[in-house]
């Protein structure tokens, strides 16, 4: 299928969006009273269910950051791993990219997932740290060759003068990877966001949506407080 190049009016779009089904279900049930005292195991259960049930790319997530000027910016990334105990969420990117620069200025971010088939949204916020070079090395060298070549092609988010310049850089990157298969780009970085807040949102028929918020609280038994939010 190719993009249809015919012009589309705003009114036509509005009509089509109005009639497009949202949270159509059937939706899984979620009993917040039965959720555990910590958010990690619940995250694992929801992600595992999305993987089992064939939700497309359920490990794709939106990372939101803000730069020194406070301007927010968001983009989709792959979740590379989770420490369920904390919980902490790992992702990888180029430290010189916009998100990398944002995180160097303000090491705090939000992650969100949306799984339409299950009517589920998870939001997590917390401080972010860059892991050491050995984590970057392990992450990068575990990738397929095409991804390693991409990692050596230019600097993510820097202005690109032409597609021709890109093709040339990509050719050089392929040669570099073939000649130095153990090399890791200097900027390749694995980041870790340690959740200090995690919200689980479950859609329900008739808009009886359920929201469960975990907030890190060292004074609470188990280190977390739990509460419902109005949907």
Ligand X SMILES: Cc1cc2nc3c(=O)[nH]c(=O)nc-3n(C[C@H](O)[C@H](O)[C@H](O)COP(=O)(O)O)c2cc1C
Residues within the interface to ligand X (CB under 6 A):
57, 60, 73, 75-78, 91-93, 97-99, 156-157
Residue 28: CB minimum distance to ligand X, A: 24
Helix (H) / strand (E) element for 111: namely strand 108-115
In the complex with ligand X, the residue whose CB is nearer, 143 or 176, is: 143
Q: Which residue has the tokens 């992702």?
A: 91
| Dihedral in degrees, nearest 10, Cα atoms 202, 231, 211, 82 | 70
**Beta carbon nearer to ligand X, 40 or 58:** 58
Q: Shortest distance, CB of residue 79 to ligand X, whole angstroms?
A: 8
Least Cβ distance, residue 35 to ligand X (angstroms): 28
Distance CA 173, CA 149 (A): 5
173 and 156 Cβ atoms separated by less than 8 Å: no
Please identify, using beta-carbon distances, which residue of 21 and 159 lies nearer to ligand X. Answer: 159
d(CA 59, CA 76): 10
CB of 123 to ligand X, least distance (A): 18
Buried b (16+ CB within 10 A) or exposed e, 4-37: eeeeeeeeeeeeeeeeeeeeeeebbebeeeebee
Closer of 106 and 211 to ligand X (Cβ): 106
Q: How far is the CB of 222 from ligand X (least distance, A)?
A: 31
Q: Which is nearer to ligand X, 117 or 216 (CB)?
A: 117
């Amino acid at each position: 299928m190719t993009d249809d190049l015919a012009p589309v009016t705003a009114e036509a779009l509005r009509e089509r969006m109005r009639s497009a089904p949202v949270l159509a279900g059937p939706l899984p049930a979620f009993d917040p009273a039965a959720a555990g005292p910590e958010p990690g195991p619940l995250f694992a259960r929801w992600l595992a269910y999305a993987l089992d049930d064939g939700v497309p790319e359920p490990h794709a997530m939106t990372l939101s950051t803000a730069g020194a000027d406070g301007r927010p910016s968001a983009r989709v990334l792959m979740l590379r791993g989770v420490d369920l105990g904390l919980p902490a969420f790992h992702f990888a990117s180029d430290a010189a990219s916009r998100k990398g620069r944002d995180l160097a200025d303000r090491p705090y971010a939000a992650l969100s997932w949306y799984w339409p088939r299950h009517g589920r949204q998870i939001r997590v916020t917390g401080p972010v740290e860059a892991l050491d070079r050995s984590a970057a090395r392990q992450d990068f060298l575990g990738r397929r060759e095409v991804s390693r070549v991409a990692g050596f092609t230019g600097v993510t988010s820097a202005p690109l003068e032409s597609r021709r310049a890109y093709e040339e850089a990509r050719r050089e990157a392929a040669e570099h990877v073939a000649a130095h298969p153990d090399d890791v780009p200097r900027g390749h970085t694995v980041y870790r966001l340690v959740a200090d807040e995690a919200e689980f949102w479950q859609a329900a028929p008739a808009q009886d949506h359920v929201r469960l918020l975990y907030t890190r609280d060292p004074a609470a038994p188990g280190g977390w407080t739990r509460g419902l939010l109005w949907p």
